[in-house]
A and B are shown apart, each in its own frame.
Chain A
Amino acid sequence: MPQVIAAARLEHAAPVRVQARKLEIDQRRPAVRAHDDVLFLVQIVVAEADAVERAHEVLQQREEVVGQRLRAVQRRARDVGAQDDLTRPRDPPAQVGVRREHSVLDEPAEPAPVFGREAVFEVSERRQHPALTSREGPRQRPEARARRGDPPHDPLDAEHAARNGQALEQLDMPERVAFELGHDSHLGHRARTVRRVGQRATHSPVGGTARSLAGTARRGGGPALLSASASLARANVHTFPSAIPVQATRPPKSSSAARAGAIHARGLVRRFGAHTVLQPFDVDVEPGLVTGLLGPNGSGKSTFMRCLVGLVRADAGAVTLDGVRLLGDGTGVRERATYAPGELHLYGELKGHEQLTFLLRGRDRAAHERARNIADDLGLPLERRVRGYSHGMKRQLLFAAAMAPDVRVRILDEISEGLDPAKRSEILERIADDAAAGRAVLLSSHHLGEVDRVCARLLFLSKGQLIADEAAVDVARRSSRRLSLVWADEASATRALDVLRGPLVAEALRDGARTSWLLAEDDPRPFLARLAAASELPAPIALEHGRMSLSDLYRDLYGVEGT
């Protein structure tokens, strides 16, 4: 949290995204009440790799000892070999919207190579429960701390923010900053938090430099950096999906001529009775890119995809896929594309490998082999009957079948729906790689954050109409004016509306303890500075900037109700 607030003081660039979240404490356990650890997760996307390098150097100047337990987790994770991903960075193709991540904080003996544009910091503070302490702790009265010369604890305290900001002032402003605030405990949420740290650590050596912030903050009663980690996009397991896909160039506008490996849809119309599900619009999906098809439930995404592969006959319009025109029942098109349906219904009586064989009927033997390999990589028990599979496992089975055939077009409907973050990242990563190999991938979702990390281009549907066709990076930029804060109670939220309202804010709304702000300008720093300086307000327990839900996007950017 303090880094975010400090970020408001930077003058070079504006963050696009900020996020914070607070975990609950298991207050039933006396031991938990006695000692609370507070964890902050700081996720920063910077404009360029050099900025991450500078962040690395700056943060290394600060010292502290990382908690022994966390380091053990990190070392274990490192031992599993994920370090290879860090030491041998692979550049994604420029045309593919792949975000790269990287640790800015690393063991001093093994400085991590710096590349990519994202860093993840985890900031921790150990404090004693106020009920059991009289001299220290986060809830200690500010004047008492001031008498002892301690820095303020409140992350929103202006002085504290300034302290933390000094180090960061040497950096370019990150494009996005995300925070997670965890009131951790020895017995309760500690394990959860450490596991989450471990997930990151599986892809990056972390820890050493993190000591610095930890020590500084602990001495001052402020937050301490426990660890920092990051990962390459190929090994991206972080909690927050990015809203900032990297794209070297805007996706090319396609010609209307049919091209190999591309999808061209022209004026597709589909009616069910009197209800028109698809209104006529034109879409070109280019090879080498992941194109996202976004829209709320009932917007026509699945019908559009089904029309592309001939599962639903369009009442009007034409489709050309990989140079082949959709005719009849679309068998010719389906031979040149794979389609993973959004509806997750499989044959429970079949074993996993039998289901794969069923799904891959009409494909060559190599596709069957590849599907088994993918399924094995994903850890699917192919000898078990599908009825024993979880929702996510079934989804992964469909994914394996869709990714195995050597075709130039893949149409994936809600392929990451219902997966845990790690699997989702793995699958999205494979999709990005697949597109990088020159395939056209059309990926649908009704969750913006699920697909934007790999999509270079986003198509937005609403009520069967294509309402926007934008580069993903443009959508991310447009979302940078939104900021939301979650407060401990509604009274604080109401007070925040009064205190923070002003020329910096175009619109402010309160929904319970959450306040939503539409900033008057793209740069959130003035508002964050105002927030940091507002000592009369308590610290928000969650902060989110630069992230939009699909319904936000639809409502704010297109004036269409998205849900």
Chain B
Amino acid sequence: MLRTKRAYVAYGLGLTLIVGLMLAGAIYWWPTFSVNVTQLKVFALPVPMLGDMLNQIERGGVAAYVAGQHYFKAGNTVCVGAAILFASGAVAGEAQRGTLEVWLARPVSRARLLTERYVGGLLVTLAPLFLTSALVPWMLTWVDESMGFGDLMRMSVHCAAMLTAIYSLAFLWSTASSDPMRIIFVVLMFFVFQFAIYLVKTATNYSFFRLADIEVYMKIVLHDRLDMRIVGPFVAVSVVSYVTSLRVFARRVP
């Protein structure tokens, strides 16, 4: 999928557009939401976790709303999907279409080729997140609200760490596989399941998304710092996955 500069730019712009439009729509809807939050909580009664989220937003104001709409909703769905998509095709896609050999046959080291592919896909995944986050203060002026740029960047870094971990795991699998569709299906299904159990009150603490929900983001805003107990493991998983990918790729047969 991501093989040429043109593809990187196209997919990056596409993802930016999708996430940006979602964010713009959410911010545009903020005044209506804030007025009607009480009624919305009534609708959310059958799903207690939704009620909890609405309570958090009611308490946290526009910052919690942005965290919920941008980082929890867009970050944990669209960006996770993009990360899985870009990572799964990185090497397995080449193998599947048979171009792995011409990719490797050039006088360029495998480590360099893999790193380029890894960094390229990661940039396409993360750049839209940071770019759209940087636009939040400007968008909030539409609704006479404001939010600290530092808070937004810290929340973006947290979300990026989570996406990098997911991306790296999918990338590692891609390095060893020749079937990108299987990777996409399995990993996506796993995270859909994780999202599903997040909404179940009794099982929510077993969900991966507890590591990147509104409550976590609001703690970052309140404490003005990243929660390294969460970001640290994300980074560790990413590094280990990347290093393992290099080792696997070094012995990869075209």
Contact = CB atoms under 8 A, between A and B. Distances in A.
A341 B108 contact: no
B107 A343 contact: no
Nearest to B4: A350
A345 B3 CA distance: 14
Given A343-B98, A345-B97, A309 B105 contact: yes
Given A329-B109, A329-B110, 16 more contacts: A306-B101, A309-B105, A311-B101, A311-B254, A328-B250, A339-B105, A341-B105, A345-B99, A345-B101, A347-B3, A349-B4, A354-B4, A359-B102, A360-B106, A361-B107, A362-B107
Contacts of A194: none
Contacts of A341: 101-102, 105, 254
Give the most central of B101, B107, B108: most A CB within 10 Å. Answer: B107
A549 B153 CA distance: 69
Contacts of B4: 347, 349-350, 354
A303 to B, nearest CB: 9
B222 interface: no
A358 B104 CA distance: 11
5 contacts: A331-B108, A345-B97, A346-B99, A347-B99, A398-B102
B98 A361 contact: no
Given A312-B253, A312-B254, A350-B4, A362 B108 contact: yes
Contacts of B3: 347, 349
A115 to B, nearest CB: 39
Nearest to A405: B107
Nearest to A360: B106
A313 interface: yes
Contacts of B229: none
Give the most central of B99, B101, B108, B111: most A CB within 10 Å. Answer: B101
Contacts of B109: 328-329, 331
B251 interface: yes
Please tell me the size bucket of the interface on A: 20 to 34
Contacts of B99: 345-347
Contacts of B101: 306, 311, 341, 343, 345
A263 B143 CA distance: 72
A482 interface: no
A312 B101 CA distance: 10
Interface in B88-140: 97-99, 101-102, 104-111
A270 to B, nearest CB: 9
Contact of B102 (A313, A329, A335, A345): A345
Please tell me the size bucket of the interface on B: 10 to 19
Contacts of A313: 250-251
Contacts of B251: 313
A69 to B, nearest CB: 46
A309 B101 CA distance: 11
Give the most central of A309, A343, A354: most B CB within 10 Å. Answer: A343
Given A311-B101, A345-B98, A345-B101, A362 B106 contact: yes
A363 interface: yes
A492 to B, nearest CB: 47
A359 B3 CA distance: 13
Q: Closest 4 A-B residue pairs measured CB to CB? A: A345-B98, A362-B107, A335-B107, A334-B107
A328 B250 CA distance: 8
Nearest to B112: A331
Contacts of A363: 107
Nearest to A363: B107
A311 B105 contact: yes
A362 B103 CA distance: 12
Nearest to A312: B253
A345 B109 CA distance: 21
A330 to B, nearest CB: 9
Nearest to B7: A349
Contact of A306 (B97, B107, B111, B254): B254
Contacts of A362: 106-108
Nearest to B105: A339
Interface in A347-368: 347, 349-350, 354, 358-363
A526 B90 CA distance: 65
Nearest to A402: B105
A328 B105 CA distance: 14
Give the most central of A312, A329, A359: most B CB within 10 Å. Answer: A329
A361 B106 contact: yes
B251 to A, nearest CB: 6
A538 to B, nearest CB: 49
B247 to A, nearest CB: 12
A358 B94 CA distance: 14
Interface string A324-344: 000011010011000101010
Interface in B190-233: none
A291 B250 CA distance: 29
B32 to A, nearest CB: 44
Contacts of A343: 98, 101, 254
B106 A359 contact: yes
Nearest to A413: B101
A461 B145 CA distance: 75
Contacts of A309: 105
Contacts of A306: 101, 253-254
B237 to A, nearest CB: 26
Nearest to B96: A345
Contacts of B98: 343, 345
A106 to B, nearest CB: 46
Interface in A303-324: 306, 309, 311-313
Contacts of B102: 341, 345-346, 358-359, 398
Contacts of A346: 99, 102
A361 B4 CA distance: 13
B107 to A, nearest CB: 4
A466 B146 CA distance: 75
Give the most central of B3, B106, B110: most A CB within 10 Å. Answer: B106
